[in-house]
Amino acid sequence: MSTLRGLDITSAADLGTAAGSAELLTLPWDVALEDWPEQYLAALPRGISRHVVRFAHLAGAVVAVKETTEANARREYNLLRRLERLDVPCVEPLAVVSGRVDASGEPLPTMLVTRHLRFSLPYRAVFSQKLRQDTLTRLVDALALLLVQLHLEGFYWGDVSLSNTLFRRDAGDFAAYLVDAETGELHPSLSRGQREHDLEIARVNIAGELMDLMNGGFIEPEVDPLATSERILDAYRRLWDELTGDLSFSADERWRVEERIRRLNDLGFDVEEFAIRSTADGSELVLQPKVVDPGHHHRRLMGLTGLDVQENQARRLLRDIDEFRMVHHPEMDEHESAHLWTSEVFEPVVRAIPRELSLKLEPAEVMHQLLEHRWYLSEEQSREVPLQEALSTYVDQVLRNRRDEDAVILHPTTTMLRAVSSDQEPNPSRDD
C-alpha cells in the first residue's frame, strides 16, 4: 500500500513496468473522473456502465478506470484476482485507489483500475455499421461459453449482459471476457438454481439491450431480439451438458473423443485444445471450447504446415495434429508437432496412394476423407482402428470408386459433367 497526501493505492505486488504503483501516482486522482483532462485519456470505445468509466494512458499502456464505492472496488478487485488465478477470461485488476480528495478537500469516489484488454471491444463497437443476425448469434454464443466457464469455477455473476462483457477478435478467435464482477460471488460450486438464475438474468438483459439497439437502428430490422436472447439458454445448456457429461474410455476407444468434438462442432463451437487424463478406470477427456470466425482453421493450418486447404479440411486435419501431439509428443510446442505430423503422417499417406488413383482427389481431401473413414470404422467396430488399416480399406473401397476430380469439367452446352484424360485437352465439340 502506498500513501501520498492521504491517497491509498492497493495493488498487486508485480504489475510490471507498465503499471506499477509509482506510475499510478502520475494520474490526476484529485480530479473527478468525468473531468479528467484529455491529455490523460485514451480514445477507445466504451460500453454502457452504471459508473463513470474512462480509459487512460499509463506509461505506454492503457488502463480502464472506474469510479465506485470503496467496498465495491476492493471486493471486485479481489474477485477479479481470484478469477485470474483460475484462468477465467476476465480483465486484469491492477489497483484500488481510495482516499481521494479534490482541490477543495472534498472527498471523491474510490477508483478500480484494470488493464485494458488489447484488441477487445464492447458489443456495440464490434461492427461500425449495423449488427447482423449472424454476428449477434456469435456474440451470444461467446457469452454462453463465458458463462459456462465461470459457472464451472463456481462464479455466480448476478448481472450477465452484453454490456458487462468485452469481445475480442484476434487471429480467428471470437471470445468473451468478464469486465464487471461487481455483483459476482465465488463459491466452491454452484447449484442448478444459481446457474438458472444467471441464465434468466442474461436472457432478460440481452433482450433489453437488443431492443435498445433496434430502436436506435443499429441492428438489422429482421433481427428478433427476444428469439436471439433465448439462444443463450439453449447454447448454454447444451454446452454445459457436453462439457460436464462424463466421458471415460479405454486406450482403444479414442474414436469417442472425436465423437464428443463433433457434437461440440454441431453446437457451433470449436475445440481450442483438449487433454486426456489417466484414471484408474481408463482415461478422461477434458475439452476447452471456443467460438471462432470463418477462415480460422485455414489460417492456423497454413501457419503450422504451409498446407493451403479449405476450411472444413483444415478443421479436420488440425484435430488430427492436436491428437498426434497429445498422444505422441506432449512435450513439443504446436509448431514442432505439426511439422512432425506433416512428415510422419500426412506425407506418408500421400505417398501411399497408388499413382493411378492420385488424380481422384487432392491430397488434403484424401487425408480428410481417410480420417473420416477411420472414425466411422472405429465407431462401427467399437475400437481404435490403426491409420494404416483404415488407409488400406479407404483406398480399395472408397477412393478407387471415385471419378478423377482433377479431370472433371462442366460441359459447356449441356452443363453435364464429363471426365477427360489428364494429358488430353478437353474437346468442347465432342458429345458424351
Contact 257, 384 (CB under 8 A): no
Per CATH, the number for 2-116 is 3.30.200
How many other C-beta atoms can be found within 10 angstroms of the C-beta atom of residue 150?
A: 25
Backbone angles phi, psi at 259, to 5 degrees: -60, -45
Contact 261, 243 (CB under 8 A): no
- Please report, for the chain, the start and end positions of each structural domain, with discontinuous segments joined by +: 2-116, 121-245, 294-401, 404-432
Position 266 scores a pLDDT of 62
For every residue of 100-144, DSSP letters joined together read -B-TTS-B--EEEEEE--TTEEEGGGSSSSPBPHHHHHHHHHHHH
Position 23 scores a pLDDT of 74
**Residue labelled with grid coordinates 477508483:** 111
Position 273 scores a pLDDT of 55
Contact 130, 139 (CB under 8 A): no
What do you get for the CA distance between the two ends of the chain, in Å? 86
Position 16 scores a pLDDT of 43
- What are the CA-CA distances from residue 135 to residues 10, 138, 228 (Å)? 39, 5, 11
CATH architecture of 121-245: Orthogonal Bundle (1.10)
| Residues whose CB is less than 8 angstroms from the CB of residue 37 and which lie 6 or more positions away in sequence, other chains included | 28, 31
Position 69 scores a pLDDT of 93
Indicate the SS3 state at residue 236. Answer: helix
Position 294 scores a pLDDT of 54
Instruction: Tell me the pLDDT tens digit for each residue of 44-98.
Output: 656 566 778 888 888 778 888 999 999 999 999 999 999 999 888 899 999 999 9
Low-confidence ranges of the chain (pLDDT < 70): 1-6, 12-21, 44-49, 126-131, 169-174, 245-256, 265-295, 403-432
Position 130 scores a pLDDT of 64
Distance of CA 228 to the CA centre of its chain: 20
Position 142 scores a pLDDT of 86
